Copies of this chain bind each other. A is one copy, B any other.
Amino acid sequence: MNFKIEEMIELLERTPETLKQLLSGLSDGWVLSNEGEGTWNALEVVGHLIEAEKVNWIPRVKMILTKGESETFPDFDRFAHLQQIQGKTMDDLLNEFKQVRNESLTDLKTLITIHTDYELKGTHPVYGSVKLSELLSTWAVHDLTHITQITRVMAKRYRGDVGSWINYLSILK
């Protein structure tokens, strides 16, 4: 087990500014590019991160700490953000993500103490019994997954432009 709360928080703290440096001011060609029908562009991925922040991570941490396994987590609507982002710019979304992430971290640091038992369990609607440490580890991996997704989607935009180099750029396959 590699999970450590301090190291997991280090990652969560860095994601908003990492995405801001990568995406703020970038041309629409990059931020509106996707991997085909039904897939998300960078704007939509940031919208999803905001939605997860609002309804998923801290609410589930609180449920584990206060209700244990007695109540099932509400389902997470992985498409709700597609409505929420209507009319917003990338900078709107990056700022909003930074704000909700800061709120989450403030909450997390209040909820977690040196006495917290990370083996405490909650009930996931699909997976059943899950541990607090697993929820927190997933939160960090979820950030990394979506940074990966954004850079992969953007890379694929140049799939037809790299010529023979496509042979060594495995990301394009």
What is A's interface to B at a CB cutoff of 8 Å?
A: 1-4, 6-7, 10-11, 14, 17-18, 20-22, 25-27, 29-30, 124, 126-128, 130-131, 133-135, 137-138, 140-142, 144-145, 147-148, 151-152, 154-155, 157-158, 160-165, 167, 169-172
Contacts and interface: CB of A to CB of B under 8 A. Distances in A.
Contacts of A134: 161-165
Contacts of A165: 127, 130, 134-135, 137-138, 141
B148 A151 contact: yes
Q: Give how many copies assemble into the complex.
A: 2
Nearest to A136: B161
A144 B155 contact: yes
B7 A27 contact: yes
**Looking at A6, A124, A158, which has the most chain B CB atoms within 10 Å of its CB?**
A158
- Please list the 7 inter-chain residue pairs (A to B) with the smallest Cβ-Cβ separation, ordered nearest first: A134-B163, A127-B164, A137-B161, A144-B155, A138-B165, A3-B161, A17-B21
Contacts of A148: 148, 151-152, 155, 171
A66 to B, nearest CB: 20
B127 A163 contact: yes
Contact of A144 (B29, B126, B151, B160): B151
